[in-house]
Structure 1
């Protein structure tokens, strides 16, 4: 037990976002715009093909090679016996062909000897069945034996390559996802986490509401990880489950920081440290880390979903890059896509061919949103294994570029041309700055709401994303921010379904509005405290004065129900969620319910606070038209103009370049000013097309 207690030290979680943009320039000079790379797995191929492949990577225009993430078995073929000769050769070939190297720690895939000698290093699932090696990401991050071997392999890699000037940086692990672990190691670490958080068992009992259904504990060693598999989904304690999510995310973050700390003992300051979170992040919380330089993400926009229009199934879901590209910048100020889909995948509900230039579209989306790195999994399509059908940049013959490879080459060639036209120090145009918008999001709210959605028609993930899409459709630059962010930088701040709050956060919102900001708060905000408890009072009690209204009741309709709302003589439909508002005398009612037995009740209100305004949107409409009409008016009231981009069309400004992207299935003509100079593409955007221009 002492070993686990020593390993799982709870740290003060101060995000590493203090890293300023100018400090990241030593990793990604502004003039380069974006640095491109590719995953390569030399362990999959005959050694006599390595040089041919590395040369091909260079000839295609890639700038770095991503290596070693799943190669623990080859670097440590026997316990304690390390072999880096093969990796030395590949790193040397990269140097020969003017390619930088991004090395990855191999902690996601342990070698077979680990299972044979130390089976306790693997996670247990909710049925207390232990996992085995043979796939990835099933190791118990808090197990001391596993941690010890991770330390050895990471240290050996860092000693060997930490001073190599051709190694640009390190990726820790692979797609960290905070896997639920019910193993003995995790049970003990969870109890340690609880002791650090609550100090006394009485405090834990109160926070968990343990008086309900006789869940009371007399001491910490009676506590076990809440298990929906054995207790049942409905019967589980939501507060205990929320803490389990928090513990799992803390364990994941601490594990990444643990490896980063090992690396920093050996590497130069010019080598960055990052990891590649999944684009839809619902398990890990990147803002819990303290030692990453920045956070990257993986993006697989197309896995057999229909998306927009008849061509949508070939173009992918724009939401994937849309949200991730903004959210992950909250860690270190910059981000980028570390792993992007190169073509058809092997795991989708169906796996269609992509429309030519779709991969290029995704790459430009990441770039336009500020991405500093653009890398793709993978160079060659493998001939065997679980991902045979997952496309690569090169087809199965090992030499012929796939369509994704062609898209990537075109993107890299065009970026080379854009670099020539880059002007440092270009400021965002005033018309865009006037629409500057932030969307406040916290994964803990996702955990809390998704556990108790109350209606199957509520989509916890899509709800905040819809506000991001609305703001982008009106031409606003949008940041996805954390609570620590400076709100004064933004004309408009959107707080969508922010369920868990405390007095300090509400005070921060109030100060922002008093100084002239416009705050948009939506339904399901401030309904619980940080423990997940309701307030002993009215619904959303802490924000009642801020929004200038009281929530009397909440309604949800059946799947065939038809709710009607009236605003400015226009009607809007809803059926998912509706707060019935009782506004204060000083508040302005903007929209009312126009049917059901509470017809005439307020659905949306506006409230002046100091120099600013708060708009409370108490309803989730079916097509988001009400929310869009409201946001358009808010920008207008703030003195800003707006655009009208159709669904699937996005326009960004970055470093002096405007970029328009078309995910829709129809042509779209971009309304360019007379002074516009087209650099890439044409004014008429066809599906999957990109247009880049300057003004």
Structure 2
């Protein structure tokens, strides 16, 4: 536990060394590298060479190995066997394939559960997890951490100087899972003690006077448990701290492995992990020792999506948001795990529309992805993922439709490498629309806990602003608070509930220096502890927005609210701040029905060289918000596009890339002089177009 606390101190204090910029691992001329997951432990050794030769012949550039093979690398406690893996590595080298090696911490061997049951988490009913699946190790349990460190060190010593190994993935889809075990209870208390120093301060921040929750010592604190005291009875401040603790503990576990690797591996080998695309628990920004963060993308799992054929095209939001979010770690990202066809866990698992896998790959590439790897090479014949497709069918030799599309993508990328311009400057018309969306996972933890209306879509709320910006043709980043706001013409801050004076000061300076700030409802309504201000609602930003939030309304599921703006009418249903504008503040939109008809819904306040727009309403169709955003671009002299839902256009390395998730054809309006490199000007569903100007 002392070892865990020392490492945790680095996370809380931010003293851990930051990674170098990860661009150095990916030559610009390569554009993107492609890889495939292969599990030799699943197949007879007599088939390994056939499989690896096939991987090379299909056009893949690296093989992803060992992430779930702990049992085979350490079949008995302390007895390591890497000879089988050595043979796989040599086969990869024979066929000129690079390797991404993975640490196996997500799947512990059976002997660990039998001999050390304390290494597994406890659920909220205080029942121990069992082995037989993945991701159930207690990341704060010292025995589990010791075993993990040992296997990681042994792997690093063996492959850390191998020039065929280009990088390492630590763990797998780190979940920051809730753990109520004794080890976690103690680690949580230590985390709290380090944060608050005194029990009186914790009582103050947690509002422990409410319902007699007062503590006299840190030893009395236990992890808040909604299953035992009920949703209504739980303390939102304690729950927020528990989420922070879980994220810190997960980050520390990843950094523990990364730190172990760095003792032995070459500086030319990168370290990453594969976060889930929409991650509501683990927070990539809290790691200090990863070179960059990759993500997994499973866009299609039985969702209806856009139009009649949307259920075959996938959720367009998945790659859209993840590809931007994870660049915050190391400056680059890529998709480490993408589905090659139907999966086994969806509400229903349809065949994909031909071209869909290729479109997903191009989407990740267009958004700046440096690598694209697919799970998995062969469809397994047994166990829980039998129905999860691979790029090779169950016969072991025939490419699946997704495999064929992967080969097409890789062939096309090789052609694009010949004409790319990696040092090309972004066209001025795009730079004039440069946009950022400010992101801090903690805001959405606290909002999701107290939505106040079932109609509030917490996790998709910031995503819809990214969709709007992309539909208007704006290059858009998702950035943390530490980023340089001045790089962007427009800064969007969606439902940023937790704020402090330092952050508000930075927003104000951004506007005074000529920035265009867009704030939305539910911004700065609480301090960082999740307390309301002792004053007006959203008190810290009232001077910034030039208005006061008088009250907030929410409608029933069938009621219809209306808003008037510039002669147009818009509908709302979810959330409405009633605003009183200060003298000199422009009222942009007003409520057009309900008993407060005429009240301001959107205001704009000029400050210094820039302006701030406050959107006090959340609409379902986002037409109001989109028109406001369009006006913001026009106010800085930028032109805009009007791409339909599901059509995304990017620029990178001298190319424009467009993809189509919609169920209808869309013809791109590109200059007559443009050179089409891939595809056709008319984008069919799942279509891809690459061109240069």
* TM-score bucket of the superposed structures, by smaller chain: over 0.9
Alignment of 1:201-600 (within 5 A): 201-600=199-598
Deviations 1:322-359 (A, max 9, x none): 00000000111000000001100000000000001100
SS of 1:257's partner is: helix
Deviations 1:408-465 (A, max 9, x none): 0000000000000012310000000000000001110010000000000000011111
Q: Is the 8 A contact 1:16 1:292 kept in 2?
A: no
Deviations 1:62-89 (A, max 9, x none): 0000000000000000000000000000
**Partners of 2:404 and 2:219 in 1: CA distance:** 58
Q: Is the 8 A contact 2:258 2:290 kept in 1?
A: yes
1:137 aligns with 135
**Partners of 2:549 and 2:188 in 1: CA distance:** 37
Q: Is the 8 A contact 2:8 2:248 kept in 1?
A: no
Q: Is the 8 A contact 2:11 2:287 kept in 1?
A: no
**Partners of 1:17 and 1:298 in 2: CA distance:** 26
**Partners of 1:245 and 1:174 in 2: CA distance:** 20
TM-score scaled by length of structure 2: 0.99
Deviations 1:94-144 (A, max 9, x none): 000000000000000000000011000000000000001100000000000
**Partners of 1:392 and 1:228 in 2: CA distance:** 39
**Partners of 2:493 and 2:114 in 1: CA distance:** 50
SS of 1:521's partner is: strand
**Partners of 1:324 and 1:152 in 2: CA distance:** 32
SS of 2:378's partner is: coil
1:635 aligns with 633
**Partners of 1:334 and 1:5 in 2: CA distance:** 30
1:48 aligns with 46
**Partners of 1:247 and 1:10 in 2: CA distance:** 13
1:658 aligns with 656
Q: Is the 8 A contact 1:7 1:144 kept in 2?
A: no
1:18 offset after TM fit, Å? Answer: 6.4
RMSD: 1.1
**How many correspondences in the alignment?**
693
Q: Is the 8 A contact 1:590 1:604 kept in 2?
A: yes
Picking from 25, 43, 68, the partner of 1:27 is 25
1:684 aligns with 682
TM-score scaled by length of structure 1: 0.99
1:26 offset after TM fit, Å? Answer: 3.2
Q: Unaligned stretches of 5+ in structure 1?
A: none
Deviations 1:612-666 (A, max 9, x none): 0000000001210011111111101110000010001010000100001000000
Alignment of 1:74-153 (within 5 A): 74-153=72-151
**Partners of 2:536 and 2:221 in 1: CA distance:** 32
When residues 474 and 4 of structure 1 are mapped into structure 2, their CA distance, relative to the original with a 3 A threshold, is closer
**Partners of 1:196 and 1:32 in 2: CA distance:** 46
When residues 2 and 487 of structure 1 are mapped into structure 2, their CA distance, relative to the original with a 3 A threshold, is closer
Q: Is the 8 A contact 2:277 2:319 kept in 1?
A: yes
Q: Is the 8 A contact 2:18 2:288 kept in 1?
A: no
Deviations 1:177-219 (A, max 9, x none): 1000000000000000000000000000000000000000000
1:25 offset after TM fit, Å? Answer: 3.9
Q: Unaligned stretches of 5+ in structure 2?
A: none
Q: Is the 8 A contact 1:10 1:196 kept in 2?
A: no
2:612 aligns with 614
1:668 offset after TM fit, Å? Answer: 0.4
**Partners of 1:124 and 1:32 in 2: CA distance:** 45
SS of 1:631's partner is: helix
1:11 aligns with 11
SS of 2:573's partner is: strand
Deviations 1:5-49 (A, max 9, x none): 4564453464999666xx534311000000000000000000000
2:55 aligns with 57
Deviations 1:367-408 (A, max 9, x none): 000000100100000000110000000000000000110110
SS of 1:424's partner is: coil
**Partners of 2:690 and 2:406 in 1: CA distance:** 17
Point out 4+ residue stretches in structure 1 off by more than 2 angstroms.
1-20, 23-26
**Partners of 1:195 and 1:556 in 2: CA distance:** 39
SS of 1:533's partner is: coil
- Which has the larger displacement, 527-536 or 415-424? 415-424
Q: Is the 8 A contact 1:7 1:142 kept in 2?
A: no
**Partners of 2:38 and 2:183 in 1: CA distance:** 34
